[in-house]
Structure 1
């Protein structure tokens, strides 16, 4: 473009024209050259501006794509983490529920076994009770048949009158072996009944001095006594015996006869 313009300038200078015309044409040509240059520069600037704007748009588009990609990665990571967490928690809950179910089944099994054992023990206890009752009844009948005068019936109770001599403790042990205990006198009528049958002998009864207090063998402190004159003493290791005149206190280790009592109704 420049070569063409300079060529035109040279050719114009060779023309035979006045100086003023040549100057005007030269100026016009130079003006045309400047406008062409300005136009070219403008086009270059526009091209550069367009290229720059396209590049900026491309970079922005690429940045948006990167952000979207990162967001997708983050969302996918969060989803994976949540899935792993909930799967682990679900498995833990299932395991816990399974263990609770097993523990419940174990407790139910043990409870059933305890119920069965309790039922068996109840049946065994009833059986032993029946056998004990039968044995006691058989012993009573045997004692009454072999030595009828030793067992006396009075007011729903049997009284065993011994013919041997033993200490108070041994006498009580003998009564227990017979399914009874040393007699506890509960009324004036019972006292009179027994007192009339002892003649001139002394028989241990279930009354003993326990640290200064007279108590029956069932642990109760007696309230009404039928003591002979001058009795009882406040000394320890004394036991009560029944005579035809009332009660007397004796050393528990001394040997006396005894009276056992076994009630029919308890």
Structure 2
């Protein structure tokens, strides 16, 4: 009887031990499975954080390099400013000398400056057409009067001369040599002559400045274009 009881106790202990060992194996197995998964996530987070930090550092490095390059470029440009200023000053002085030389040569050739234009008064006498041809050869044209000041200046020359005004295209329609119509005039008394008043059936289609015996505002006179007079060429700065 006692042997039987002891045998059952031993078997029960064995079952308990087996159950406990099985439970321990399951716990151990679960513990081993959970360990690697946690380490992987931590490693992934570390890699992600490290990569983000590298990106930030790269951006900061790029910005720093760009600022350095721009700073160097600005410094170089600043250092070049005195040289550029000196070069521009030399160019300006050279242009001024060339302009002075040009004005001297122009004056020696008989040209006189008034405001922004140059005027050449001939020493010879020619018809209106021949006078204009001479002006064109000088890269100028017969004078066009645009203001009272210019009219007064020409009056001061005290010389009878052709100017660039004619109605040869249409009788009574006075135009300047550049094609612009006459707006302001300085005709002398009873000028211009009326149609039908001309002798020998020759029209007075060209305009001269009389020799300055009257007032500046009254010295224009229409004459026959084949009359020989001095003339004035004009060249203006554009």
Map 1:211-226 → 2, pairs under 5 A: 214=180, 224-226=183-185
1:160 aligns with 2:135: no
Counterpart pick for 1:202 among 145, 163, 167: 163
Map 1:77-156 → 2, pairs under 5 A: 77-115=40-78, 120-144=83-107, 146-147=108-109, 150-152=111-113
Q: Residue 258 of structure 1 aligns with which residue? A: 233
Greater shift in the superposed pair: 98-107 or 69-78: 98-107
Per-residue deviation, 1:127: 2.4
Greater helix content: 1
Q: Residue 17 of structure 2 aligns with which residue? A: 54
Check the 8 A contact 1:195/1:243 in 2, yes or no: no
CA distance in 2, matches of 1:195, 1:143: 22
CA distance in 2, matches of 1:161, 1:190: 14
Q: Give the structure-2-normalised TM-score.
A: 0.55
CA distance in 2, matches of 1:246, 1:120: 59
Check the 8 A contact 1:183/1:261 in 2, yes or no: no
Q: Residue 187 of structure 1 aligns with which residue? A: 147
Q: Residue 176 of structure 1 aligns with which residue? A: none
Deviations 1:133-170 (A, max 9, x none): 232224324544x35x53255xx667432548242893
Check the 8 A contact 2:144/2:164 in 1, yes or no: no
CA distance in 2, matches of 1:70, 1:185: 109
Q: Give the structure-1-normalised TM-score.
A: 0.51
Higher-Rg member (1/2)? 1
CA distance in 2, matches of 1:183, 1:124: 39
Per-residue deviation, 1:132: 1.1
Q: Secondary structure at the match of 2:184?
A: coil
Q: Residue 238 of structure 1 aligns with which residue? A: none
Mind listing any 5+ residue stretches in structure 1 that lack a counterpart? Answer: 1-35, 173-181, 215-221, 231-240, 248-255
CA distance in 2, matches of 1:243, 1:60: 134
CA distance in 1, matches of 2:91, 2:207: 36
- Number of residue equivalences: 183
CA distance in 1, matches of 2:40, 2:221: 104
Q: Residue 199 of structure 2 aligns with which residue? A: none
Greater RCO, CA 8 A, separation 6+: 2
Per-residue deviation, 1:128: 1.3
